[in-house]
């Protein structure tokens, strides 16, 4: 008698590029399809997934299958190990077995941007994502606000897909502010949000990362936290973003006046973390800080 293995929260999906659409100078949307992508769970919000990218000179990429795929992947010789990068799901259409992923074009030096610039219909890739057959918590969703209260969502271009997906799932009575820093004014994309959520796009041009995001978040926080009562500053343990990953996400959030979700370049997010918590006294249990990438360093798988 064959033993039925339990369904894991995540699985490896074999996928093929179905469509490629350039959204703006810095964003491209890739639509994937596959025989079993109808089993891809549509969790919305900031659902993380992983893409295995082709090795140099190849059009396709694969990953070992099974619950221990990551260990098997790590055990492969480097020249046979497809690069892995983390992204956010932009849209899921199970009835069509399709998944959309928006990718940011950062120069042409990394494997992700190189692949995104050259992706074409028919390219094969491996996608690690949530299995709809699993009836528990898949993980990979960090946006967990308490009921009621205001929202502050902010990030650079790498956070635009996640924030766009979050806004699309917010209740109609949600209120708050979204602050998005993008490379160019032409990168301002249509973003669906409830009427009580103000969206502010900030183009940095040739200035450095965070040059628009930091003052934008400071201004938004000042408006959202405006009160006559002084707030108590909190100690914030420093994070060396050159050697450590900045990923501070509360598991459970008590009712608070403001819930903040911030993602982007780790050094910039570290500075905003210090401002919101140490200077403005925002409760650390009500803020998700995520360093999606680190300036001058390779992404982590």
Chain length of the chain? 301
Strands (E) across the chain are located at 10-24, 27-33, 48-52, 84-93, 98-104, 124-130, 150-155, 176-182, 197-203, 247-248, 258-265, 287-293
Nearest partner of 265 among 231, 240, 241, judged by Cα = 241
172 and 225 within one domain: yes
Angle between helices 266-273 and 213-224 (to 10 degrees): 30
Q: What is the pLDDT of residues 183-239, one digit of tens each?
A: 999 999 999 999 999 999 999 999 999 999 999 999 999 999 875 444 555 566 665
The pLDDT score that the predictor gives to residue 243 is 54
The pLDDT score that the predictor gives to residue 232 is 57
Q: What is the pLDDT of residues 103-123, one digit of tens each?
A: 999 766 678 888 888 889 999
157 and 71 within one domain: no
234 and 160 within one domain: yes
For residue 227, the domain's CATH number is 3.40.50.80
102 and 64 within one domain: yes
Q: Is the pLDDT of residue 248 over 50?
A: yes
Q: What is the pLDDT of residues 224-240, one digit of tens each?
A: 987 544 455 556 666 54
Q: Does a structural domain hold residue 145?
A: no
User: End of a domain among 130, 158, 184?
Assistant: 130
178 and 78 within one domain: no
What share of the chain in percent tops pLDDT 70?
89
- Cα torsion 115, 261, 94, 3 to 10°: value is 90
Q: Is the pLDDT of residue 5 over 80?
A: no
Strands 10-24 and 27-33, bridge-based pairing: antiparallel
Q: Do 156 and 44 contact (CB within 8 A), yes or no? A: no
Q: Does a structural domain hold residue 164?
A: yes
207 and 163 within one domain: yes
Q: Does a structural domain hold residue 232?
A: yes
Q: Does a structural domain hold residue 171?
A: yes
121 and 177 within one domain: no
The pLDDT score that the predictor gives to residue 230 is 44
286 and 224 within one domain: yes
What share of the chain in percent tops pLDDT 90?
64
User: End of a domain among 101, 130, 159?
Assistant: 130
Q: Does a structural domain hold residue 102?
A: yes
Other Cβ atoms less than 10 A from the Cβ of 237: the count is: 6
Q: Is the pLDDT of residue 17 over 90?
A: yes
The pLDDT score that the predictor gives to residue 148 is 80
For residue 68, the domain's CATH number is 2.40.30.10
Residues in contact with 97: Cβ distance below 8 Å, sequence separation at least 6, in sequence order: 33, 34, 35, 36, 37, 38, 40
Residues in contact with 162: Cβ distance below 8 Å, sequence separation at least 6, in sequence order: 45, 46, 88, 143, 155, 263
pLDDT band of residue 301 (cuts 50, 70, 90) is very low
114 and 69 within one domain: yes
Q: What is the pLDDT of residues 25-56, one digit of tens each?
A: 999 999 999 999 999 999 999 999 999 998 88
User: End of a domain among 73, 96, 130?
Assistant: 130
* pTM of the complete model: 0.91
Q: Does a structural domain hold residue 120?
A: yes
* H helical segments located in the chain: 69-75, 111-118, 160-169, 213-224, 266-273
Tokens (6 digits) for 263: 């993602």
**What is the tally of structural domains in the chain?**
2
Alpha-carbon torsion 51, 57, 60, 66, what sign? negative
Q: Do 97 and 129 contact (CB within 8 A), yes or no? A: no
Q: Does a structural domain hold residue 1?
A: no
270 and 156 within one domain: yes
Pick 277 or 58 by higher pLDDT.
277
Cα separation, 55 vs 73, whole angstroms: 14
176 and 118 within one domain: no
Other Cβ atoms less than 10 A from the Cβ of 134: the count is: 16
Please provide the average confidence, as pLDDT, over all residues in the chain: 88
Cα separation, 194 vs 173, whole angstroms: 7
Domain that includes residue 250, residue range: 150-293
**Least confidently predicted of 89-98, 122-131, 228-237:** 228-237
158 and 119 within one domain: no
Q: What is the pLDDT of residues 169-181, one digit of tens each?
A: 999 999 999 999 9
Q: Does a structural domain hold residue 142?
A: no
Cα separation, 39 vs 131, whole angstroms: 6
């Amino acid at each position: 008698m064959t033993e039925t293995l339990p369904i894991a929260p995540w699985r490896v999906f074999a996928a093929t590029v179905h469509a490629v659409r350039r959204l703006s100078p810095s964003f491209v949307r890739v639509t994937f399809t596959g025989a079993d992508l109808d089993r891809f769970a549509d969790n919305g919000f900031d659902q993380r997934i992983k893409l295995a990218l082709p090795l140099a000179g190849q059009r396709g990429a694969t990953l070992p299958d099974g619950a221990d795929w990551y260990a098997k992947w790590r055990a492969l010789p480097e020249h046979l190990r497809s690069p892995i990068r983390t992204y956010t799901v932009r849209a899921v259409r199970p009835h069509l077995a399709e998944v959309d992923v928006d990718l940011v074009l950062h120069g042409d030096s990394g494997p992700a941007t190189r692949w995104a610039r050259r992706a074409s219909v028919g390219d094969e890739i491996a996608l690690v994502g949530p299995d709809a057959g699993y009836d528990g918590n898949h993980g990979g969703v960090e946006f967990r606000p308490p009921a009621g209260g205001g929202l502050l969502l902010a990030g650079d271009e790498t956070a635009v897909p996640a924030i766009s997906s979050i806004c699309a799932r917010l209740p109609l009575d949600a209120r708050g502010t979204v602050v998005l820093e993008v490379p160019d004014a032409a990168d301002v994309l249509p973003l669906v949000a409830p009427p009580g959520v103000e969206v502010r796009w900030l183009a940095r041009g040739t200035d450095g990362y965070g040059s628009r995001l930091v003052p934008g978040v400071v201004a938004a926080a000042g408006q959202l936290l405006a009160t006559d009562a002084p707030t108590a500053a909190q100690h914030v343990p420093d994070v060396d973003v050159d050697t450590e990953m900045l990923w501070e996400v509360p598991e459970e959030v008590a009712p608070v006046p403001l819930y903040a979700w911030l993602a982007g370049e780790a050094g910039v997010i570290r500075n905003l973390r210090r401002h919101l918590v140490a200077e403005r006294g925002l409760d650390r249990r009500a803020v998700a800080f995520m360093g999606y990438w680190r300036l001058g360093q390779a992404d982590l798988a």
